[in-house]
Amino acid sequence: MTTTTDRGIAAPRIYLLAAHPHWRYPDYAIDAQAERERLARADLLVMLHPIQWYAMPPLQKLWLDDVLHYGWAYGKGGTALRGKDLWLAATTGGPAESYHPQSYNRYFFDAFLPPYEQTATLCGMRFLPPLILHGARAASAVDVDAHVAVFAQRLASYPAWPELSDLGACPACEVPAQDRPVAGPDRGTAFGLPTPDTLAQPPLANAPKSEVA
């Protein structure tokens, strides 16, 4: 599910991105331009997903790769997201106590948040304090209902969250021109990867006759 709420002319717009099997991209074909248009209209981006192998699900990562382009989201001229907020609402399978140096996950959960925070910072966004439901696999209905109620209340009250006044402005992350992504048709060949032209060739078109069964 991907939704953008509009709660009136003066109310902030919230873009809720739920990386779920029933999301709008079950085939993983992200409509990047449409996503950028939705994101540009929003004040708050909410990433809603389970934590898988200490990170975001692959569909959410693909969305970042396809949508947050250099020159639009970050880098020279990339100011489309500057001044917006990013909020993570996630679940974990393991209980909160498993995220401890003396338990099987070995780290406090905050140790897995820097990729989210730095993504926000690179794009000129504030990374808001996340909302995490630990132990979701075994959570009771009461616990789930309480978590959903907090989630709904936070959405309804944004941006009037008491802790936001302590966050300050997002630090600037300027990307030097020499560090920008390689552009153009040779992007793949620079890493020895197949180009779109070679991918379009039939797999056996250029094979020696003796190798074609």
Question: What's the token pair of residue 144?
Answer: 């789930």
Closest CA relative to residue 51, chosen from 88, 3, 100: 88
- Cα–Cα distance measured from residue 87 to residue 63, given in angstroms and rounded to the nearest whole number: 16
Residues 48, 18 contacting (CB under 8 angstroms): yes
Q: Is the dihedral of CA 53, 55, 57, 59 positive or negative?
A: negative
Q: Cα-atom radius of gyration of the chain, to the nearest Å?
A: 21
Cis, bond preceding 159 (omega within 30 deg of 0): yes
Q: Where are the domains positioned within the chain?
A: 2-176
pLDDT at site 200 = 44
- Cα–Cα distance measured from residue 101 to residue 189, given in angstroms and rounded to the nearest whole number: 43
Tell me the helix, strand and coil percentages in the chain, rounded to 5. 35, 15, 50
Is 48 strand, coil or helix?
strand
What are φ and ψ of residue 74, in 5° steps?
Answer: -155, 170
Closest CA relative to residue 42, chosen from 113, 131, 122, 125: 125
- Cα–Cα distance measured from residue 6 to residue 159, given in angstroms and rounded to the nearest whole number: 14
Architecture of domain 2-176: 3-Layer(aba) Sandwich (3.40)
**Which residues, 6+ apart, have CB-to-CB distance to 60 below 8 Å?**
17, 19, 47, 49
pLDDT in tens for each of the 213 residues of the chain? 455 555 555 678 999 999 876 777 888 889 999 999 999 999 999 999 999 999 999 999 999 999 999 999 999 899 999 999 999 999 999 999 999 999 999 999 999 999 999 999 999 999 999 999 999 999 999 999 999 999 999 999 999 999 888 888 877 788 888 887 666 544 444 444 444 444 444 444 444 443 333
